[in-house]
Every structure is written in C-alpha cells, then in structure tokens.
Structure 1
Amino acid sequence: MSAAIHSAREEALPAGRLLTFYGDDYTGSSAVMEVLSFAGVPTVLFLGAPTPERIARFKDFRALGVAGVARSQSPDWMAEHLPPVFRQLAALGAPISHYKICSTFDSAPHVGSIGKAIELAEPILGGAWHPLVVGAPALARYQAFGHLFAAIDGTGYRLDRHPVMARHPVTPMHEADVRAHLARQTALPIGLVDFVALKAGQGDARLARELANHARIVALDVLDEETLIAAGRLVWTHRGDRLFTVGSQGLEYALVAYWRAAGLLPRETVANEITPRERIAVVSGSCSPITAGQIAVALDNGFAGIRLDATRAVDAESWAREIGRGVQEALRTLGEGRDPLIFTASGPDDPAVPALNAAIAASGASTGDVNARIGDGLGRALDRVVREGGLARAVISGGDTSGHAGMALGIYAVTALAPLAPGSPLCRAYADDAHDGLEISFKGGQMGTPDFFPAAKGLGANATNHRTRREYGT
C-alpha cells in the first residue's frame, strides 16, 4: 500500500475547489461538511440552491455543498429539481462531485431513488466511471463483497437484518448487497472492487477489469483503515478531468484518509470544543429507537418533553394550532429554567406511529405531504422558540425533519463549528435575519450516543445522568 501511495504521490492538492456535493437529506449533508472541515478542508453547506452572490461570499472555501430533501422524494420530483442543482455544481469546476446518500443506503425505486439521481447526474457531472463508497468505519458501517453492514450497540448486522433499517418506515432494507439494491433503481451496469483485491494491492487491476466489462458504477468495499485509504486512492488517482461519485460521507473519509497517507493533508484534526449554553431547544420528528433513547436520557437530565399530536398534521389548520400549543409550552418551559424538547414520537413502537398512519389513511392525504407538513411545523415552532426565547443554540433531530424544518428557519448556509457525534456536528448558521450566527445541529435519527442532547447543550460526560453509555450505531 505504501509503495502505491508513494508512486502516485502529488506535491500538493490542486488549488481552488476540491469537491462539490449534493446531499439527499440535511443531516447527511452536514456529515460531509464535518468530515472535510475537521480535516482542514474549509467547507460550506448551503441549505438549498445558492445564489451567485452567496457563493461568492465563500469563494475561498475548498468544498461547497447543497443540502436537499431528495431522499424523501419521488423520481418525478428528482427529474424536475435535481438537474438545475447539478448544473450549478458542474459550473464550479471541482475535480470531484458527490451525490451524498445515507450510510444505510436509504432508498427505493419509488422514493429517494439513488439510481434515478445517478442517471440524472451522469450527463451533467460526467466522469469515466462513478465510484460508490458507502462503508465508513468511523460510523460503524462496513462493506464486504458488496454487502453492507452496520453496527448498533457494538453488534454488527447485515443491513437487511438490522434492527432499525429492516424496519425503516419508508425505505426498509430487504437486501444488503448494494449492487442488487441499486439494480432495482437503475439499468446502469454496476461493478465491484472487493476488499480482497484492495488488500492485495490489486485495486487498479480490478477496477480496470470492471470498466472493461462496461461497468459505469463501481462499488468499493471498505472495512478498515487500509481499505479506506485504498478506496480513496482509487477515487483520487482515477478521477480524470472530473469525476461524479456516489456514496455516504465514507467517500470523504476515504479521500481524507488517502490525502493524509500521501502527505497532502496534515493528520491533525481541526476542531473547536463545545462551549456550554445555559438553554437550548430541540425539535424531533424522528421515529428511530436511537432517538427514543436519546430523548429518554435528555428527560432524565432536566429537559422538558413536549409531545405534539402528529395525527393533527393531516389538516393544516389543526396542525397550526397544535404547533402553537407546543410553542407556548416551550416558552413556558424556558421561563421555568428548563430546555424544551418538542417531539412527535418516541421510537418505532410508540403508539403515535400507527396512529399517524391510520389518520393519513382515513383522511386520504398524501403521506409525503403530511410528513413535509410535520417537518415544516417543527421548523416554525423552533423558529419562534429561538426568537422569542432569545436562544443561541438549537438541535433538529431526524433526517427528513431536518430538511423541512431547516427551510422553515430561513437559514441559507452553515459551516462546521465543533464535533458532537460522527455525522452530526455543531454548526454556525448564516441567515439574513436574527438567525445569523445561530448554533445548530442537524441530527439524523440513527446518529449519536444516548447523551446527544445534553452534549449539544455543552454538558460533559460527568454532568449527565446516563441510563446507558453504550455507543449507538451512527
């Protein structure tokens, strides 16, 4: 491996932008920014397509991303909304462009289709091949012979047997082989460079063989630091003039690992520590059991739980009244010296989940429309609580929730401030109003340790009353 790195070594990374990316949800997008920023690659994430003037404000940043909501959208929606963003990224001229997906490959032919996104991006963002990098050991995500595994509570599961992903309410994973899963979404040929070839130093030869067999998408196994570096080397040294890539933040982990191994980046992490805040506010639309555990720990540590009745979201006026009630309770809670935590469910077994499904079915409303209304409502609630409560820090929990709620806040960009948990950094918000400078974290449902919400407030490990200190899969 070291010989291969040395033979391909460059004197320095090229000047200008190194990478642009589109994230199919907000939390995943902030995870890419986290990996690059704390490795010493200044990165800005725009919450929606940026204007030229806003791009110019960050002209010296080496990486630029756009957070989106494609993971929760149909192929028709993608066909309408993704090409303009891809064209905007292409115009920036970075050697690597990345369609960022969830590290648990959340997708289906009818919603969040990764295959559809690749088909739309390929003629715009180009490249002789499209690396698919999903594994990320830092997140307890591993890929072997094309099969994706994720760990939770220290135990690894094949993704189709994972206690969370096998039961995902929108995109349950019934197939662990990323090639087979993706083949249901696109007819583009898919190849594989497995970890055996990577560890044997045969990655280049295997890639050449896959391309000779007309593969357009090539999945790269990642199991450990050695295969992470090898995957990053293949992507970077075979990028050509430009390369469109697909994957989780594992792609950035791989590039950073190779750049460091090749002496192109320093090995030191560039990050600040979390400064404690007297009060914060949290909104959560996640149904993940991991978020449920985090809510329980937060309530044990003085947060005030405020449950919203999500069934009322089938009607816009009723939901607006419910949001108003939640805001008033949150402001009262702040007045009592406690941190409000507004949520719609506590895990997949919460009776609120089937109740919402039944309400949607009875109303004849669209599930997508109702979920968007829930996310938007949580964002509007957080907007009012932050403004009227004079808060400087907030957290949004849930991948899809973060997208809709983030838009409701009117924030147009964020940069990474400090690490909280892998994939969920504390960010600095940019806005044209009072939210400029707000500290915010977008937390995916499956991200973080049980003490995430107290940690986001700035409480150290010794200041929390943990029910458990087990590491959750992230």
Structure 2
Amino acid sequence: MSELLIGFLGDDFTGSTDAMESLAVCGLRTVLFTSPPTAGQLARYERLRAFGVASTARSMSPPDMERTLRPAFAALRDLGAPIVHYKVCSTFDSSPRVGSIGRAIDVGMEVFGCRFVPVIVGAPDLGRHCVFGNLFAVVGGGEEPVRLDRHPSMSRHPVTPMDEADLRLHLSRQTDKSIALFDVRQLELPADEMQRRFDALVASGAQVILIDLLHENQLATVGSLIARHASPDRPLFVVGSSGVEAALCAHWGDTTATFTPPGPVEPIVVVSGSRSPVTAGQVQWALDHGFEQAPIDFTPIDCAMMRLKWGRSVIIDSGPFDPAVASEMGPLLGCILQNLLECTRVQRVVVAGGDTSGHVARALGIESMEMIAPLTRGAPLCRVSAPGSPADGIEMVFKGGQIGGPDFFCLVERGS
C-alpha cells in the first residue's frame, strides 16, 4: 500500500523547492523531480511520503500550458497520492496570456473529474495573507503587508504585473468557472458549523472555492477542510501556494524534522536572472561583502574562473531587463554555469529567479533533488541528482525573486 500523502506540480522551479521545504521540515520525506516520475522511480526512495514535479508553466502561454499540464496531471493522478496540488507562486502572479492559473484549473478539473477546486494562496510564514479574497504580501524584510496591487515589485512585474488584489476578480479574467469565497470569518466558526457551510458552498455548485488564510493558527483548520475531500481512489485537485502544504502538515500533525547544519563552503557561484529589487539588493550586499562580479557581456566564464581560483565567490547577473533577449537569458546562464562546473570544483550554487531556475536545471541535466537544510523560508539548500552531469551531487539553492534578506547570498556561503 502506498504511503504517499501528496504529489504536487509547481509552475516554476523556485516555487517547487518552496513546496518541498514545507513538507520536508515537517518530517515528510519529499523528492522533487524535473519531469513526472514513474512508479518505479518513486519506489527507489524508502519512506517516501510526498513528491513533486518542477515545471516552467508560469512562463508559458495557455495553449503551451495545456499541452504540458494535461499529460503531467494525468501522470500524477495515477501515482496514488490522495491529493495533487498545482503549486503557484504565493503572489499569484499570472495573466490570461502568460502562466494562466485559470487555464491550469480548467485542465485540472477535466483530468481529475472534480466537482470543485479549492484555492489556497495565503502563506503566513512567507508573509502572504489572504483576507476577504484580497492578497497582501510583506515587502522584502518588512513587517507590514502591502495589498498586492500596491506592492512595489509585483504590481510592476515585467511579465505578469498584479493590478488586482482581489483574487476572485484576477482569476475571473483567466477562467469562466464560477468562483466563491470561504472567508476568514467562517474559519473561526465551531468545527461542525464550519464544515457544514463549506459543504453547502460545494453543494451550491461553486466550481472554484478560494479559502482565506490570514495567520498560522488557521493552518490546521484549512488543512482539515480540504483533507476530508481527498482519497487515493479519487484524488483531490488543489491549487495554491505552499500554504497548501503548510495547512495539510498542520492538520496531519507531523513533527518538525532535524537537519544537520551544512557549514560554510567557499567559494560559491551565484547566477541570477531575477529582476526583483529584492534580488538586486542581495547582489549589491554580496558585492559589498567580498563577492565579485563576472559581467555577463564580457567573457563571464573566464572572469568567473579567475575569481574562483582566487577563492572568491562569484555572481553572474543578467543585468537590466531587456524584453528582446529575456527568453534567451535563462538558457545562457545555464550554459555558463555548466561550463564553470566542468572546469572547477565548486560545490555550492545559487540560482536566483523562477524562470531562470527552470532553464538552468534543464541545462545541467538535473533529474531530481532533496532538501538537506533550511536557510531562509522558501529557499532551502538541496542536493541534486544529475547523472552524467558535472552538477551531480552538488548543493544548490533555487531562490525566487522576492525571497530572502539582504545578506542571503552570504548566508548561503556560510551555510547558516
């Protein structure tokens, strides 16, 4: 009998490692793959409780998403997990033209044959709070959440700017499915009454049910709402952030895992295609504290190798955003990193940027990875498996643009 509790498919790489971390820190062995695994591949891992697949759906057009997601969802459906989660960014960035979450819901409902799809976007431990259907996010290391359509980064995202904080309105541009809200007040009701109201919402014919999530003491409640609708014979299809995993773990009551501190490694390599101001600040901090830059437009491999031989950690940054070459930047960074790994003994690497991470992983031939230590929430240290590649066995961090404090790259170098 399968011991699997959940399988997930992430719409980008950094979001996928975030979901893996949410499960692993609760003591659930989780392996993240770069393509849907077979039952035989899963059987290689003892005591496996969860698995994920990292995709690049967030950067795709809706037709490309459908061609990618339909067979992927079918593969995950047939692997025996009672819950299958389409993991999206906790800032819900998407549009009718790129990374359409609505199209993913449409495809998922067809593949899983489900009556309704729960959507959970709040992730309190990441500073993401969904209240009365509106999403708020903490900026960088700040404390006060900002409504998403006023967020200094997400409201100006170069590809999917978030101009609407009400997720019902935002999602209605991407799907014609009916959307209902289970709001924060109902989460505070006695358990029986809360379940009765949720079941009534399902019975009313609502096809998409957005569930508020404001603070961490609501996680177990939200987890219980969705878990009771799941079974291995008829998997529940869920959409949302890593708040889904956090809620389910709170409901399951799993214990906190203990990880061996990884310790310092010098030098490390950082490749960044992220255009986030948060990442820009991290790059500058690292340069001010001993890292050196290898300009991408001036023999970056030679420059990086020279600095690495001197024992200096290196940053290779894509530079200012240029729409004309944006689609080429991720594969280029992946090629540069592969060449560096072939010629050096670098054992720890950071990749910044969700789309960039997917391109780099493909260039390196990464097959799977497991978390080996937490660093900062949402960007764990992982050990990668890449048979026949110079990346096989090295430590890597895949970091989203909004994740981490100013000293994040120095933190990765120190290992704590």
2:167 is the counterpart of 1:160? no
1:53 and 1:186 mapped to 2: Cα distance?
Answer: 36
Which position in structure 2 is the counterpart of 1:245? 238
Preserved CA contact (<8 Å) 1:278 1:457: yes
Preserved CA contact (<8 Å) 2:263 2:415: no
Preserved CA contact (<8 Å) 1:135 1:143: yes
Preserved CA contact (<8 Å) 2:42 2:48: no
2:170 is the counterpart of 1:177? no
Preserved CA contact (<8 Å) 2:2 2:80: no
1:162 and 1:332 mapped to 2: Cα distance?
Answer: 40
After TM superposition, the structure 1 = structure 2 runs for residues 339-350 of structure 1, keeping only pairs within 5 Å, are: 339-345=313-319
Q: What is the SS of the residue equivalent to 2:145?
A: strand
Alpha-carbon distance, 1:256 to partner: 0.9
Amino acid of the structure 1 residue aligned with 2:412: A
Preserved CA contact (<8 Å) 1:203 1:230: no
The Cα offsets for residues 161-219 of structure 1, whole Å up to 9 and x where unpaired, read as 11111111111111111111111100111111111010123431221232122111111
Aligned-residue Cα RMSD (Å) equals 1.6
Amino acid of the structure 1 residue aligned with 2:179: I
State which of 233, 237, 249 in structure 1 corresponds to 2:224. 233
2:192 is the counterpart of 1:199? no
State which of 393, 398, 402 in structure 2 corresponds to 1:442. 398
1:174 and 1:422 mapped to 2: Cα distance?
Answer: 26
Amino acid of the structure 2 residue aligned with 1:96: I
State which of 279, 297, 302 in structure 1 corresponds to 2:290. 302
Preserved CA contact (<8 Å) 1:233 1:255: yes
Alpha-carbon distance, 1:431 to partner: 1.3
State which of 349, 366, 371 in structure 2 corresponds to 1:411. 366
2:19 is the counterpart of 1:63? no
Say if 1:117 and 1:459 are closer, same or farther in 2 by CA, change over 3 A. closer
Alpha-carbon distance, 1:459 to partner: 5.6
Amino acid of the structure 1 residue aligned with 2:73: F
Preserved CA contact (<8 Å) 2:36 2:76: no
Preserved CA contact (<8 Å) 1:272 1:419: no
Which position in structure 2 is the counterpart of 1:334? 308
2:406 is the counterpart of 1:432? no
2:293 and 2:76 mapped to 1: Cα distance?
Answer: 41
2:104 and 2:94 mapped to 1: Cα distance?
Answer: 11
Which segment drifts farther, 226-235 or 200-209? 200-209
Preserved CA contact (<8 Å) 1:101 1:248: yes
2:281 and 2:146 mapped to 1: Cα distance?
Answer: 19
Which position in structure 2 is the counterpart of 1:452? 408
Q: Give TM-score scaled by structure 2 length.
A: 0.95
Which position in structure 2 is the counterpart of 1:283? 271
Q: Give TM-score scaled by structure 1 length.
A: 0.83
After TM superposition, the structure 1 = structure 2 runs for residues 202-213 of structure 1, keeping only pairs within 5 Å, are: 202-213=193-204
Amino acid of the structure 1 residue aligned with 2:208: I
Amino acid of the structure 2 residue aligned with 1:187: D
2:260 and 2:334 mapped to 1: Cα distance?
Answer: 27
Preserved CA contact (<8 Å) 2:125 2:216: no
Preserved CA contact (<8 Å) 2:294 2:314: yes
Larger radius of gyration: 1
2:60 is the counterpart of 1:105? no
2:177 is the counterpart of 1:188? yes
2:214 is the counterpart of 1:223? yes
The Cα offsets for residues 278-335 of structure 1, whole Å up to 9 and x where unpaired, read as 21111000000000111011111111012324xxxxxxxxxxxx6xx11111001111
Q: What is the SS of the residue equivalent to 1:50?
A: coil
Which position in structure 1 is the counterpart of 2:125? 138
Amino acid of the structure 1 residue aligned with 2:213: V
Which position in structure 1 is the counterpart of 2:8? 21
Moved over 6 A (4+): none
The Cα offsets for residues 213-241 of structure 1, whole Å up to 9 and x where unpaired, read as 21111111111122222111101123254
1:51 and 1:242 mapped to 2: Cα distance?
Answer: 17
Preserved CA contact (<8 Å) 2:261 2:415: no
In structure 1, stretches of 5+ residues that fail to align are 1-13, 310-321, 346-351, 361-369, 461-474
Preserved CA contact (<8 Å) 1:129 1:243: no
1:225 and 1:285 mapped to 2: Cα distance?
Answer: 32
2:349 is the counterpart of 1:387? no
Q: What is the SS of the residue equivalent to 2:290?
A: coil
Amino acid of the structure 2 residue aligned with 1:194: D
% identity of equivalent residues: 45
Alpha-carbon distance, 1:128 to partner: 3.5
In structure 2, stretches of 5+ residues that fail to align are none
2:415 and 2:217 mapped to 1: Cα distance?
Answer: 35
Q: Which has the higher helix share?
A: 1
Alpha-carbon distance, 1:271 to partner: 2.6
Preserved CA contact (<8 Å) 1:221 1:227: no
Q: What is the SS of the residue equivalent to 1:290?
A: helix
Preserved CA contact (<8 Å) 1:398 1:445: yes
State which of 108, 122, 134 in structure 2 corresponds to 1:121. 108
Q: What is the SS of the residue equivalent to 1:155?
A: coil
Q: What is the SS of the residue equivalent to 2:383?
A: strand
Amino acid of the structure 1 residue aligned with 2:108: A
Alpha-carbon distance, 1:406 to partner: 1.1
Amino acid of the structure 2 residue aligned with 1:443: K
Which segment drifts farther, 123-132 or 213-222? 123-132
1:121 and 1:144 mapped to 2: Cα distance?
Answer: 25
The Cα offsets for residues 235-283 of structure 1, whole Å up to 9 and x where unpaired, read as 11232542000000010011111112xxxx22x3333323211211110
